[in-house]
Structure formats: C-alpha cells, structure tokens
Chain A
Amino acid sequence: MAWGLLLPQSFAGGRQPTAAIRKHPVINTADTAWVLVSSALVLLMTPGLAFFYGGLVRKKNVLSVLMQCVMIMCLITVQWTLLGYSLAFGSSHGGLIGGLDFLALRGVGLDPNAEYAGTIPHQAFMAFQMMFAIITPALIVGAFAERIRFGAFCVFSLLWATLVYDPMAHWVWGAGGWLRNLGALDFAGGTVVHINAGMAALAAALVLGRRKGYPDTSPPHNLPFAVLGAGLLWFGWFGFNSGSALAANGVAVNAFLVTHVAAAAAGLSWALIEWLIIRRPTVLGIISGVVAGLVAITPAAGFVGIGGALAIGAGAGGICYLAVSLVKSRLGYDDSLDAFGVHGIGGIWGAIATGLWASTAVNPAGANGLFYGGIKLFGVQLLAVAVSAVYSFGASYLLFRLVGAIVPLRVSEHDERVGLDLTQHREAGYTLID
C-alpha cells in the first residue's frame, strides 16, 4: 500500500504528513469516507471469490467452497481483531514481526496513526487491512477445493493467517518491516496477498495430492456463477487498489484507472491467445484473464501509468495462460481452481513488472523501474519476490504437514465421491425437483 512503499519517512499519495499534522492529527473526511467505502468493497471480494470458485467446482461441492469462504470471513475477522493486527502492524521486532502492543485492538482508536495513515482514524486503517487479511487465505481455497476436510481447513486457515500472513504483512507494510525498509514497492498487496496465497496454494496442492479422477474431472458446474464472481472481484478490486492510497487523491485515481485498464488488457490477451491456439475464446478464459490482470496490477497500481498498465495486463493474460494450460498439466499437480497459476504466477509477474514500469513521474513517492533507468528497484523487486515466494511456500508446506500430522487433511474416498456438501455440511446446493 502506499505506506507500504517503503522509502522511509515518505508517504505516497501527496499525503505527506507534516510535523504539525503528526503532533495534532487532523482527520480528513474525504479520505476517511473513501477508505471506509474501500473496506466494504474489499470485503465484497470474498463472497465474489466464493461464487467464482463455487461456479468452477462440481455440483456436489458448491456449498463447501462457499462455506469455506464465509467461514474465513468470520474466523479471520476475530483472529485479526484479537491478535493478527498487532502481529502485522504492532511495533516491530527486528523487522520480522509486530509486537503485542495492539493486542485485542488496545490503543487502536479514532485518532490517526501517522505511521500508517495520518489523515484517517486508526480504526479505519485497521478495518481496511482486515479485509485483506480475510481474502488472502480465502484465495488458497482454490487449490484444495473438493477434497479437504472442513475441520482441517479451519485449523490450517487460522494458523496460516497467524504464522504466514501476519508476518509477511509486517515485512512489507509494517513500520520497520524489513522489506519495506529495503525499498521494495508493493502498492496494494501483490506480495503479501497474491504471491503469498499463490505459493501456499501450490504447497496445498502438493501436500493434499490430486482429486480422485483428476485430470478427468467434470467441467465447472455453473460458469455463470463464475462470471458473477469475477464481476464482483473486478468491482471490489477498485477498493483493494485505489483504496490502498489511503486517501481520496490523485494516486487513488491513478490506481483506479490502471487497475481497470490492466484487467481489460489481460482478459483480452487471454481470450485472443485461446482464439489463436484452441480456435475458440472461452468464457472461463476471459474471466481468468481479467482476474490475472487484476492480480498483476495490484503491486504496481500506485506507481505505473496507463502504458505500463496495458503491458502488465497483457503480459498477465499470456503468462498465466501458459502457467494454467501448459505448466500445470506438464507437472501434474492438481491446483483445482488455479489459485497458484493465477494468483501466484500473476503476483510474481506483477511484482517484477513493477520493477520495470514504475515511474516517479506517476508517483514521486515511488521509484523508477528498469525502463525508467532504475536498476536498483528492479533488483529489490526480484529479491522481494524470491524471499516471499520461498518463505510462503516453505512455511505453508510445513504448516500443512503439521496440521496433517494432527488431523487428517483429506476426506475419505467415499466422502470425496459423494461430495463435500453432503458429507461435511449435510446440505445440498441444489434440489432436483421442487
């Protein structure tokens, strides 16, 4: 986010708090309104994601995916207010993890916290961050869908949020976080949200193994749901990226526009590639492209202009298409709904692309990418990608193994056949007759 940007003492977004503001915090009503609206928009992305994923699974598992997403909304909200926010944004211990000073939101009041957002109440900042903490573990659902035991899922999600998400949020966005101090640029969460969830998704797919019958599993049971979900994600992403300016200002407007343009370019490039290669542009293809574009522009949204957005979007459509259609089938892992292929790969592309197309002409608080003469930023971006990808994959892998040693991760073969809706929740998504 803008404050995640990491040049010490500087705040992106023309919102540089002066010493006077720091002493006498003044709440800007426009900024506060925008961040509150953005928080609601980001929250809506999780039900949107639920429908995106829910449409892609088989009929017998649709409720299980919706349930996992709603459970995460509830579970992580409580975790975040009690502990998570403090681990991510509390006073830093060696740049690695936040302290317990904000435990149970102690000291998180209505005055601004100039360290993070000097013109909005600290609670608004906390609420905005909470929505990111919610959607990130929800993204991983795409990798273990249709075969995970619900209890194991709950334990894993809670531990993952605490041991993987919260520390990484601290590294990149927390005051004193080591990646932030290094100068890595991540405007709205390409590293913390998408690379992080994407690598965890890969670990999940590897630990859990393939679904029974994969790769000859049935096609998506309700693509219209997936389109609905993609639409909600696109809509919510304006809050995700534009809201990350943490102010109603020019940086927010730039982020809004480049987010939209990158999504469109990516949907277009994915559909065109399909048109060329398999002779038919598909609905699932164009919406996957849109999501890939939104993922890729996320770290760059506050630092690149329209040209960069077009390039990042078009690249995301192509690269994620390759990851999903070629790499996955070659390597044979079963990332059910392509959480790694779209969020992991798209996130990595976006973080690297930020090091290419970022320009101080767009945002003076940012830095110049390789195409604007900034070699250092490019190197830092590569380092941030490598470190976060390795940490996230390693920690998630171990965590899955650990949870798997305590409770079974996978449902029985019988339950997998019958479906998770009936066996995990005793409900069915659809009736056959009225």
Chain B
Amino acid sequence: MKLIVAIIQPDRLPEVLDELEKRQIHLVTASNVLGRGRQHGVSEVYRSHQEVGNLLKKVRLEVAVNEDFVKPTVEAIVSGANTGQIGDGKIFVLELAECVRIRTGETGCVAIG
C-alpha cells in the first residue's frame, strides 16, 4: 500500500479529479494549504507594498492506494496538473504501513478501496 501526496495548483484541481475518475480512482482527500517551492509566482500587492516571500496557495491531495493503482494515480495527477509552468507542484509516494476502515474494522488492502 502506498500513500500518494500531491501538491498542485488550486486551479488544476477539477482536471486532476477528472483524470483520477477516468482511472476508477474515487477516494481522494483534498485540502487547502500554503507553501512555496522554487517558484516566484504571482505575488500580491497591498497599497503598493509588494509582499515578498509570500507563501502561495496550493491544494494538497492525498490518495491511499494498493500497489497496482500507484502508477495510474501518479499518471492521473501529472496529466491533470501539468501545465509546463513553474509551480505545477510535486508528487510524493510514501509507504503506507496500515489502513483501517472505521465502520467495519477491516484492515489492509481490503480496507483501502
């Protein structure tokens, strides 16, 4: 089992969800986050004061999958979130030690899907 964590541009979220859906990946958690990479993206200006070093708004996706879904998930996120521009984001693939479905108490690969 793997946990796939992706940091993407907020405006690409609909496309990424579409791509995941196309590959039968329905279970996703999304959250608003702030962060910065190497990008110097669009910065905000308040009354002519440029805010330097601002953290930029991103969306973090978390998808827990069995091994055979790792590749399709990564592909889906890349194809939905890639614009070729700086700031498109990153994908992290982590080992997932355990998974428990709270309702039934099932664990492991059965619980994940």
Contact = CB atoms under 8 A, between A and B. Distances in A.
B46 to A, nearest CB: 7
Interface stretch (A228-236, A319-327, A328-336, A421-429): A421-429
A70 to B, nearest CB: 15
Contact of B42 (A213, A422, A432, A433): A422
Nearest to B58: A432
Contacts of A407: none
Interface string A190-234: 000000000000000000000001000000000000000000000
Nearest to B83: A414
A213 B46 contact: no
A432 B34 contact: yes
B11 to A, nearest CB: 4
B44 A426 contact: yes
A427 B45 contact: yes
Chain A binding surface, main DSSP class: loop
Contacts, number: 25
Contact of B44 (A213, A417, A422): A422
A432 B57 contact: yes
Interface in A392-434: 417-419, 422-423, 426-428, 432-433
B105 interface: no
B33 interface: yes
Contact of B33 (A60, A213, A419, A432): A432
Interface in B42-63: 42-46, 57
A233 B10 CA distance: 33
A432 to B, nearest CB: 5
Interface residues of B, number: 13
B104 interface: no
A432 B59 CA distance: 11
Given A432-B33, A432-B34, A432-B57, A427 B14 contact: no
Interface in A98-147: none
Contacts of B11: 60, 417-419
B32 interface: yes
A34 to B, nearest CB: 38
A417 B15 CA distance: 11
Contacts of B42: 418, 422-423, 426
A382 to B, nearest CB: 45
B60 to A, nearest CB: 12
Contacts of A423: 42
B34 A433 contact: yes
Contact of A432 (B12, B32, B44): B32
A427 B54 CA distance: 12
* Central interface residue in B11, B12, B32, B34, by most chain A CB within 10 Å: B11
25 contacts: A60-B10, A60-B11, A213-B14, A417-B11, A417-B12, A418-B11, A418-B42, A419-B11, A422-B42, A422-B44, A423-B42, A426-B42, A426-B43, A426-B44, A426-B45, A427-B44, A427-B45, A427-B46, A428-B44, A428-B57, A432-B32, A432-B33, A432-B34, A432-B57, A433-B34
Interface of B: 10-12, 14, 32-34, 42-46, 57
Q: Which 6 A-B pairs have the closest CB atoms?
A: A417-B11, A426-B45, A432-B34, A418-B11, A422-B42, A427-B44
